[in-house]
Amino acid sequence: MAKTNLLIFCISLNKGGAERVISLMLNKFIQDEDICLHLILMENGIDYDLPTSINMTILNKNYKSGVRKLIELPFVAWQLSKYLKENKIDTVMSFLYRPNYVNILAKFLGTKHKSIINIRSTTSRYLNEGLLGKINLFLVKLLFNNADLIVSNSQGVENDLKTLMSITTKTKVIHNPVDLDFINEKKETCDDIPFNFDKQKKYIISVGRLIPLKRNKDLIDAFHTLQNKDDDLQLILLGEGKLKNKLIEYCKKLQIQKKVHFLGNVTNPFYYLYKSDLFVMTSEIEGFPNVVVEAMACGLPVISSDCKSGPREILGDNKYGLLYPVGDVEALRKHMQYYLYNENINLGQIKQAEMKRLKDFKIEKIMKEFESIL
């Protein structure tokens, strides 16, 4: 049987949920003797370990503005189509919006490839993003039905897209995978910033970018109230973002700066998750938040905002964790108090239920679903 020439096409492999999924996919597909694997990045940036034998190309190593990136889409599509013809690529699987546009535009330039586009967050967010948002919505409506398959990482993401346009092409939901073996291997080893976890203290942890959509301030406010009655309560924030300095200053204003630890980006978040007592995600918008699944894999009780897509599918209507309305700090505080101070909580039962749920997201299962659409 002839090998499938598969190209994975994305913006970069900097820290992010989609990028994490791509890194897992590359390391699995490279082992498949029936697949000849190629990788093209639109921009420079690799934060994940990749197989050394992969055929990789980076199209542009210079920073460009958002407007210019959209203007240059036809040129990037020409670059892609040239590569596809020269390397006889059968299938292009793209991730995130700009690569998806380019994947489809290349078909208009004479390529015969199968185009599979992956959307990883709710498209309706573009309704609130000004001119660039309008341009993106125009391109989505113009191009997406020309793809051979649209893959969403949650049912909520697919449903959201269908509220914005009439979908006439094939669609499929494939959840993000979790590599349980890798997490179990890494969770007891600190590969990054040394941090002294005091066994006498309780640690709440959150992982993600420090940007407005993540609503990190909600967690700080809920934590501020709880720590007034518990001097041993600590908060860890993993991640970077434009709000970092403002959040640090806000913690100083609340006089809790010694209890809130901004550790930045780390290569191995699983160590900090495993050592903590409670995971909280406060996002306003998500697609399928990998970190919720990863926190479960580290045995943590999980609290998440009930944002439009992702958390409710993962946590099963509060069956595997607790949901609260986006922005409701008091509801968040009550959930945190319940997990931290309820003497009737059975952590063993919580972990057992989480591990049962995680079987649905095991990398072996999810990769088979991806292989089935090639």
pLDDT digits (tens, 9 = 90+) for 156-171: 999 999 999 999 999 9
pLDDT range class, residue 50, cuts 50, 70, 90? confident
Instruction: Tell me the β-bridge partners of 111.
Output: none
All structural domains of the chain, each given as residue ranges with its CATH number in brackets, are: 4-174 (3.40.50.2000), 181-361 (3.40.50.2000)
d(CA 170, CA 235): 44
Q: Is the pLDDT of residue 1 over 60?
A: no
Q: Is the pLDDT of residue 54 over 90?
A: no
**Winning range, highest mean pLDDT, from 3-7, 71-75, 273-277, 346-350:** 273-277
DSSP 305: E
Q: In this predicted structure, what is the pLDDT of residue 39?
A: 95
| Beta bridge mates, 36 | 5
Give the whole-angstrom CA distance, residue 189 versus residue 120: 30
Residue 276 region, left (φ>0) first, then alpha (ψ -120 to 50), else beta?
beta
| pLDDT given at position 357 | 95
Per the prediction, the chain carries an average pLDDT of 93
pLDDT per position as a tens digit, 177-226: 999 999 999 999 998 989 999 999 999 999 999 999 999 999 999 999 99
